């Protein structure tokens, strides 16, 4: 079944436009409260309870109040954390034995966007069938429970401190960060009260940027989507590494001391290589359809199994669980280590990378020295609504021609967008010229076939 409101990471959109309105948020809170509470009460014994956290967008106040009203009207208690990273909400949901966790955030998007996403009782993202049940409940009647059954709300005053200690607990007890100078970019987002303390308390000298949120500057020229900012800071400060997080703290990009930018694909390879050498990999590695071919080839050259999931960290998680593995990630910087946390966590992922650096006595760039990334050419081709690029014999023929010509050194991926009328054409090859030529050829045939419909 197709989903009406939920995308790959919850409900998201422009604040004030449906569905990111207070009216819809209240309905969503009520519906989610009913569906999630039905799975078993987890709270004070009388009511089910959920945790609600948010990033630093000004609209978080509005959506938080509306969600709380919906949950309370459904007879569900609400624990409010205030600004807290998405993985922090996942952790506390599990630690407090609650029915669900809710995060009000649009991740790396600008302040005028916002979203609402959920974690189940175990701190893992909701499966599709639960989201579909919530969607169905939104459109049903929503009578308020009686006064005796109304839910309550309370603040979790020590949420940030609890999460800081959890992050530190994932770092080996016999390791510390003394002697390292780090630049931490909090993207003016949810990690600003957390990330600097984690790295400082483990012994590092910490220089923090992007730590002055005002409700409007989240992700603005800072964070994991604007890495040139932290790159300049690392070089100016003479730091060993830069750690760039995104607005809700589940994404990570790093910078080496020489200014080299290390993206999610490279970080995934570095951690996988380190774990394989230590015998702690726990099976293979999961990437996505967009993971660079160089990562797959580099891992297989070291005898490490590799599998691809659909794009989105929720699908990486599903594939990891299906295979019984623990390590996966995306090029955008979402890394999952299921033996450390139930969801992707930028801070914990950075600690894993620093653990590898310290243990092996190598720079981060050196940990990636066996990785040769391919060139990825990406083109968005506008199409008419309903056009199926995979049904066109002409497109199929051109893709087959390209794949035959490129052999094992390249690949083609066509992905219809789930949010706009475009087909995303990706051609990858070890030779940039080859990737560019085939990317243009396939984009042209897609455009021609789409216009002929």
Q: What is the pLDDT of residues 367-381, one digit of tens each?
A: 999 899 999 999 999
**107 assigned to active site:** yes
Q: Which of 99, 107, 337, 349 is catalytic?
A: 107
**Beta 422-429 vs 410-416: how paired, if at all?**
antiparallel
Contact by Cβ (8 Å): 303, 285: no
Could you report how far apart the first and last alpha carbons of the chain are, in Å? 26
Which domains does the chain carry? 11-157 (3.40.120.10), 163-260 (3.40.120.10), 262-367 (3.40.120.10), 375-452 (3.30.310.50)
pLDDT number for residue 42? 58
pLDDT (0 to 100) of residue 125: 84
Write out residues in the chain with pLDDT < 70, as ranges. Answer: 1-2, 39-45, 418-419, 453
Instruction: Identify the pLDDT of residue 8.
Output: 75
Per-residue pLDDT, 164: 98
* Whether 277 contacts 251, CB under 8 Å: no
Neighbours of 419 (CB within 10 A): 9
CA distances from 21 to 69, 100, 158, 305, 412 (A): 13, 21, 29, 44, 39
The structure's pTM equals 0.93
Q: How far is Cα 340 from Cα 94, in angstroms, rounded to an integer?
A: 13
Q: Mean pLDDT of all residues in the chain?
A: 94
Task: Look at residue 386 in the predicted model and tell me its pLDDT.
Answer: 83
Provide CB contacts within 8 A for 268, sequence distance 6+: 285, 287, 291, 295, 327, 328, 329, 335
Q: Provide the pLDDT for residue 128.
A: 81
Q: Report pLDDT for 442.
A: 97
């Amino acid at each position: 079944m197709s989903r009406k409101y939920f995308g790959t990471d919850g409900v998201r959109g422009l604040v004030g436009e449906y569905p990111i309105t207070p009216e819809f948020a209240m309905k969503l809170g009520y519906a989610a409260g009913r569906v999630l509470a039905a799975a078993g009460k987890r709270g004070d014994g009388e009511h089910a309870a959920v945790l609600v956290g948010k990033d630093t967008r000004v609209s978080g106040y509005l959506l938080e109040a509306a969600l709380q009203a919906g949950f309370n009207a459904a007879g569900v208690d609400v624990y409010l954390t205030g600004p807290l990273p998405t993985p922090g909400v996942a952790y506390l949901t599990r630690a407090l034995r609650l029915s669900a966790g809710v995060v009000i955030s649009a991740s790396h998007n600008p302040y005028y966007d916002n979203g609402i996403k959920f974690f189940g009782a175990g701190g893992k993202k909701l499966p599709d069938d639960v989201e579909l049940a919530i969607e169905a409940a939104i459109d049903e009647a929503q009578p308020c429970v009686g006064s005796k059954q109304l839910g309550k709300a309370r603040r979790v005053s020590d949420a940030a401190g609890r999460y800081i200690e959890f992050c530190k607990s994932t770092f080996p007890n016999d390791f510390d960060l003394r002697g390292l100078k780090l630049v931490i970019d909090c993207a003016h987002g949810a990690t600003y009260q957390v990330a600097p303390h984690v790295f400082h308390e483990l012994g590092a000298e910490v220089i923090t940027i992007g730590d002055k949120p005002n409700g409007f500057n989240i992700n603005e020229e800072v964070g994991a989507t604007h890495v040139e900012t932290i790159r300049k800071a690392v070089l100016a400060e003479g730091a060993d590494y830069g750690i760039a997080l995104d607005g809700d703290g589940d994404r990570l990009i790093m910078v080496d001391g020489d200014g080299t930018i290390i993206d999610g694909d490279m970080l995934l390879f570095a951690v996988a290589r380190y774990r394989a050498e230590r015998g702690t990999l726990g099976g293979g590695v999961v990437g996505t359809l967009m993971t660079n071919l160089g990562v797959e080839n580099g891992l297989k050259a070291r005898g490490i199994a590799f599998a691809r999931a659909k794009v989105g960290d929720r699908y990486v998680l599903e594939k990891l669980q299906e295979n019984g593995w623990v390590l996966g990630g995306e090029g955008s910087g979402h890394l999952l280590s299921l033996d450390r946390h139930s969801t992707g966590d930028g801070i914990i992922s950075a600690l894993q990378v620093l653990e590898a650096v310290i243990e092996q006595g190598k720079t981060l760039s050196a940990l990636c020295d066996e990785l040769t990334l391919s060139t990825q050419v990406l083109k968005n081709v506008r199409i008419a609504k309903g056009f199926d690029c995979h049904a066109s014999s002409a497109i199929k023929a051109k893709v087959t021609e390209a794949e035959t010509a490129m052999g094992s050194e390249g690949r083609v991926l066509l992905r219809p967008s789930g949010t706009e009328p475009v087909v995303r054409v990706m051609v990858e090859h070890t030779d940039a010229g080859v990737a560019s030529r085939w990317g243009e050829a396939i984009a042209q045939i897609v455009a021609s076939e789409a216009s002929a419909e």
